[in-house]
Amino acid sequence: MELFGIDYIFTSHQRIFWLYIMSAVLIASVYIYFFPLTRKEYRNRVIWWHKSAQMDYKYFFVASIIKVLFILPLILSSKDVALWITLYLQETLGYISPLSFSKESVVFLYTLSIFIVGDFTRYWLHRLLHTVPFLWRVHRVHHSAEVLNPLTFYRVHPIENILFGIRYALSVGLITGLFLYLFGAKIGLIQIIGANLFVFLFGILGSNLRHSHIPLRYGDFLEKIFIAPYQHQLHHSVAFTHKNFGGALALWDWLFNTLHIEKTNVNIVYGIKEGNSHNTVLAMLLEPFKKRSLI
C-alpha cells in the first residue's frame, strides 16, 4: 500500500488524510453555499479532468514509488541529528540537571517549537527554491500545475523531496537535541491520532483548500499571521509566483516582505510564465536539467 501512496489516505501526518479531505469538503461546501457564484466554477469537470490534473494523478503514484525506493533510504534521520546535538552540547557545555519545568509545560513547548521551527525553515527553503536558478527549475514542477487539486501538493520533484527531507531532519533533530539536553526525559509530543497537535489543526481547518479553486480568505489581519487558502492560490498564479512562501504561517512573509494580500478575488491564471511542457511524467522529472529562462 505504501508503495503506491494509498496509505497516505490513512496516515494523519499526510496532507490527504481522509479526515482532512472530509473537513476540506465540508468547509468548501459551506463556502459555496454562501458564495454561490463559486459553485459553477468548482463543479466544472474541466478542473478535475484537465490535462494538468490528470498529470497530478499520474505523477502522484510514480513519485510515491520513487520516494519509497530511492529517497527515503537516503534521508538523514532526525534521531541521528538529535543525538549529535545532545552529545555536542554535553561535550561543549557540560552536563546539567534537567530544568525544573513541569512535564506538561515541556511537552507543550516541545510540540509548539517543532511546529514553529519547522514552518520557519520551510519558509526559507521554499524561498530559496524560488530565488536560486537551479532550485527554481526543480520547483517549477510544482508550479507548472494549471489547475489545483489536493494531489497538486505532491507534484514535487524528487530533488525537492530530498531537500525537504533534510530540512525536516535538521529542524526536528535540532529542537529534539536541545530539549533533551535541557529537559531530559520530560520531552514528548502532543498528538491527535498520531499527528502533531498543530499539524492536525492545520489539516482539519482546510489545508487541502490551498490546492483548490475555493478562494477562502481569513481577512487582512489574520492573513498577516496565517496563510489562507486564497493566499497560496495566489502563490500558484503567474502574477504572484514569488510571494506568500509560508507553509502554515504568513508571519514569516510579513516579517521578510514577501507577503501579498488581495482584498478582492482576482482572475487567477495558474502555472508558470515561461510556459509549460510537462506533458509526461518523464518530462517533469527531467525539468531541472533543461536549459530555459530561470527565475
pLDDT value, residue 4 = 56
Backbone angles phi, psi at 31, to 5 degrees: -60, -50
Residue 46 has a pLDDT of 77
Q: Which residues lie closer than 8 Å to 75 by C-beta, 6 or more apart? A: 162, 165, 166, 169
Q: What are phi and psi of 173, to 5 degrees?
A: -65, -40
pLDDT of residue 5: 66
pLDDT of residue 40: 53
Closest residue by Cα to residue 216 from 206, 203, 224: 206
Q: What is the pLDDT of residue 1?
A: 43
> Cα 84 vs. chain centroid, distance in angstroms?
27
**Binned average pLDDT, 10 residues per bin, the chain of 295 residues:** 70 95 96 73 72 94 88 84 96 92 96 98 98 96 95 96 95 97 93 95 97 94 97 96 97 98 88 77 90 57
Output the pTM of the full model: 0.93
From residue 9, alpha-carbon distances to 5, 16, 150, 199, 201 in Å are 8, 6, 12, 15, 17
Q: 116: Cβ–Cβ under 8 A, 6 or more apart, which residues?
A: 249
| Phi/psi of residue 277, nearest 5 degrees | -120, 20
The grid cell for 68 is 519509497
CA distances 292 to 123, 241, 248, 262, Å, are 26, 17, 32, 31
- CA-to-CA distance for 32 and 209, rounded, in angstroms? 13
Note the pLDDT of residue 129.
98
Domain coordinates in residue numbering, the chain = 2-289
Does an H or E element contain 172, and which?
helix 158-183
> Which of 179, 201, 202 minimizes the C-alpha distance to 113?
179
Q: How far apart are alpha carbons 176 and 91 in whole angstroms?
A: 17
Exposed/middle/buried for residue 279 (C-beta within 10 Å: 0-12, 13-18, 19+): exposed
Q: What is the pLDDT of residue 80?
A: 94
- Using CA atoms, how far residue 258 sits from 59, 128, 138, 227, 255, in Å, is 30, 13, 21, 12, 8
Select from 280, 115, 136, 128 the least CA-distant residue to 196: 115
What is d(CA 53, CA 50) in angstroms, rounded to the nearest whole number?
A: 5
